[in-house]
Every structure is written in C-alpha cells, then in structure tokens.
C-alpha cells in the first residue's frame, strides 16, 4: 500500500486505537483526533495503549478549529468518532445527534468549503441501521420484519413471526440491500453518517466507503462505559463473581467479530479502488446466541457462575441479525480470520487487567427509571 497520511477520528477509542497501530505498522503517517470522552476514558488522560508514533490532537468533532487542524494535509480520513451507547441515546437524544450527526456534518462542511487534500474516506456505520435482520418465512419467502409488536413482547413470546402470515420466521444472513429500519437514536445517527459521507464524497470526488460493523469485541473495549457490548459486560460480570444478566430468554443472536478482523477490513478498504460509494457489511457471517456467548465466556474463565435469565426485554432490541459477507468478500477479497472461540481469550485477558469495573447496575437503573426495560 502506498504510504498515506491518515486522520483517524476517535483514534484513542477501542476500534480506532487498533486501526492506528495497524496503520503505523504498515508505514503510514497517522493523526488522531479524539476528545477523550470521560465515559470512555474516565482517567481523563491518554490511554497507555495509545501508539506514540501517531500525532495526537485532543479535540471534539464539534469544534471547527480542531477539525480544521486535524484535516490539514491528510490524504485519507477514517471517521470513527461517535457516541456509542444505544440505550443511552434514547434519553440523551440531543447530545447523540449533536456529536454524531452534527459532528460528522462539520467535518464534511469543512471539506466542502475549504481547501483540502483528502482523496479517501471511510465512515463507521453499524448493523444497528438495519433494525431487525433479514428472515425467511416458509410460506412467504424472504421478509424484512420491523420490531416485534409490543403485545407480543408483553406476552414474553420472543421469537419473530412473519408479519404477513404469523408463521415462525427463521433468521437468514442480512445483506446490504435489506431495507434500513433504525430503531434507536444512535442507529439513526449512524445512518446519517453513512448517507452524509457517501453523498458529500460523491459530490466532491472523494472516494468514500461506509462500513457496517456488526458486534465488535476485543481488547481495549471500554469497560467503564456501561453501554459497551454484551461480550465485555458479561466478561466483567463473571470476573467480578456476579451473574451475567440475560435479557429475553438468551436465544437472541448476534454476529460477534474480533476487532482485528474489523481493522483488516478497514485497511483493505482504504487500499482498494473498487469500493467508492459502496456500503459493506463487516461481520463474520456466523450467529451466536447470547446464551452460547455466555457459555463460551464462562468456560474460558473457568467460572461456574450461572446467568440470570431476566425474561425482560430492552426497548428497541432486535431478536436476530447476522451478516451476509458475500459483498465484501467479492469486492475486497476480505474474510474474517478469528472465530469467537479463538478471539475470546484476548478479550478476557484485557478484562482481567481492568480492575473490577462493573457499570452494569448504573446502566440498568438508568434504563429502568425511564421505562426502557420491561
């Protein structure tokens, strides 16, 4: 890959910091723009793992001057900076739209109105844009259901039914053509990112690709953030000798991808010239239920702790979604390398170094107070 000067917004975060390491190792010049959000970086200082070969600018994506400085002389931008708590976005609505949608808009506004050297952009999108994944009904064929009706959830009937005929619906891989039904403010802002970056990229001839990340896990996942992903939450619960709390019946499933696979997908996309204007799923193509995930983590930790199955649900949660990775395979020749059984060791190793932070009770209380778990 020809060496580039790359700006990584959110480069001190979980995904961003791994990308920075990989870009530096590949010989690129890297600049980070990161606000060190206290929810993710409670110590208020640069994290120990941050790559010292990268230039660091502390600044918020909503500050015009900071973004202008960050964009100076870069060839490529990878926009990862975002507020990422799905549940939190449902009560911190204005801040999420401000940081995510307006933060992204400000960067694009500078590219549209000022001289710049950017020829390539990647933007982090999310499987959350889909809402529910794609399903198949034996009678009706492929279907794209919206969230399960409130009355069904109130009756603790968790699986998806075909909205047309009511028969059980079976999850199938979700491809990029599935209609988007974002179900949270966070997801809406991620769709904004995709659409805004692709539209401005096209208008100004900047090659732009949006990557829809599935559920990412791995070292450096922020355990101080109560809204971090379920794999990190369960690991820290088990290490603290507390039972994981499982929503619904635990048979809901997701596609868990190791952070190093996400990094290799980003690097491959940055280097490719056939993905301008494209949206690509970045997942493994394998569904794992929350119960299976919990079992694998408990095995890895040698924990006998049994999960507590809550038989309650989180407002806005989907039942199943896993990636169809055919498009990214075809266009980039990329495929994931690490299965969960292999990658989980890394996650657990990291969680062990993070002293007993269990932010779950706080998140639970905040969601409950607002009627967002039922």
- Residues contributing to the site for ligand UD1 (CB under 6 A): 84, 86, 126-128, 184, 187, 215, 229-230, 233, 245-247, 252, 254, 290, 314, 317-318
Shortest spacing between CB 365 and ligand UD1, in angstroms: 13
What is the distance between the alpha carbons of residues 300 and 240, in angstroms, rounded to a whole number?
A: 15
What is the distance between the alpha carbons of residues 32 and 28, in angstroms, rounded to a whole number?
A: 13
Measured over the CA atoms of residue 138, residue 144, residue 147 and residue 151, the dihedral's sign is negative
- Which is nearer to ligand UD1, 51 or 209 (by Cβ)? 209
Number of alpha carbons in the 13 Å side-chain half-sphere of residue 247: 17
What is the distance between the alpha carbons of residues 216 and 214, in angstroms, rounded to a whole number?
A: 6
- Which is nearer to ligand UD1, 74 or 360 (by Cβ)? 360
> Which of 178, 158, 180 shows the shortest CA–CA distance to 168?
158
- Which is nearer to ligand UD1, 15 or 36 (by Cβ)? 15
What is the distance between the alpha carbons of residues 59 and 103, in angstroms, rounded to a whole number?
A: 11
Beta strands 207-213; 120-126: pairing state = parallel
- Which is nearer to ligand UD1, 51 or 126 (by Cβ)? 126
248: left (phi over 0), alpha (psi -120 to 50) or beta: left
Are the C-beta atoms of residues 262 and 282 closer than 8 Å to each other?
yes
- Which is nearer to ligand UD1, 20 or 84 (by Cβ)? 84
- Which is nearer to ligand UD1, 68 or 144 (by Cβ)? 144
What is the distance between the alpha carbons of residues 29 and 76, in angstroms, rounded to a whole number?
A: 10
Shortest spacing between CB 86 and ligand UD1, in angstroms: 4
Shortest spacing between CB 282 and ligand UD1, in angstroms: 11
Shortest spacing between CB 96 and ligand UD1, in angstroms: 12
- Which is nearer to ligand UD1, 127 or 263 (by Cβ)? 127
Are the C-beta atoms of residues 294 and 248 closer than 8 Å to each other?
no
Shortest spacing between CB 191 and ligand UD1, in angstroms: 11
Shortest spacing between CB 130 and ligand UD1, in angstroms: 7
- Which is nearer to ligand UD1, 138 or 177 (by Cβ)? 177
Shortest spacing between CB 119 and ligand UD1, in angstroms: 28
Shortest spacing between CB 301 and ligand UD1, in angstroms: 16
Indicate the Cα dihedral angle 17, 20, 24, 28, nearest 10°. -170
What is the distance between the alpha carbons of residues 58 and 70, in angstroms, rounded to a whole number?
A: 10
């Amino acid at each position: 890959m020809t060496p580039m000067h790359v700006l990584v917004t959110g480069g001190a975060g979980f995904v961003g910091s791994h990308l920075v390491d990989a870009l530096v190792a590949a010989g690129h010049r890297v600049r980070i723009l990161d606000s060190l959000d206290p929810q993710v970086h409670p110590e208020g200082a640069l994290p120990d793992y941050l790559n010292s070969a990268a230039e660091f600018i502390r600044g918020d994506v909503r500050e015009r001057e900071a973004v202008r400085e960050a964009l100076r002389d870069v060839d490529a931008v990878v926009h990862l900076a975002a507020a990422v708590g799905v549940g939190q976005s449902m009560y911190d609505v204005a801040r999420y739209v401000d940081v995510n949608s307006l933060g992204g808009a400000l960067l694009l506004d500078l590219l549209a109105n000022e001289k710049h050297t950017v020829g390539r952009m990647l933007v982090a999108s999310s499987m959350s844009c889909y809402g529910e994944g794609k399903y198949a009904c034996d009678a009706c064929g492929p279907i794209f259901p919206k969230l399960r009706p409130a009355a069904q959830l109130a009756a603790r009937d968790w699986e998806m039914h075909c909205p047309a005929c009511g028969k059980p619906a079976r999850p199938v891989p979700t491809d990029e053509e599935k209609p988007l039904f974002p179900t949270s403010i966070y997801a809406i802002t991620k769709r904004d990112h995709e659409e805004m970056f692709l539209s401005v990229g096209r208008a100004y001839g900047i090659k732009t690709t949006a990557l829809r990340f599935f559920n990412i896990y791995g070292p450096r996942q922020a355990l101080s953030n109560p809204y971090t992903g379920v794999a990190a939450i369960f690991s820290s619960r088990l290490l603290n000798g507390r039972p994981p709390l499982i929503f619904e019946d635990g048979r809901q499933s997701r596609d868990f991808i190791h952070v190093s696979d996400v990094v290799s997908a980003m690097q491959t996309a940055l280097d490719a010239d056939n993905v301008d204007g494209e949206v690509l799923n970045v997942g493994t193509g394998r569904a794992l239920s929350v119960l299976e995930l919990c079992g694998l983590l408990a095995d890895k930790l040698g924990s006998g702790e049994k999960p507590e199955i809550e038989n309650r649900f989180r407002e806005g949660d989907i039942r199943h979604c896993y990636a169809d990775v055919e498009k990214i395979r075809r266009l980039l020749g990329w495929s994931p390398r690490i299965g969960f059984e292999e990658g989980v060791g890394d996650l657990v190793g990291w969680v062990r170094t993070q002293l007993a932070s269990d932010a779950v009770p706080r998140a639970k209380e905040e969601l409950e107070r607002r009627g967002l778990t039922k």
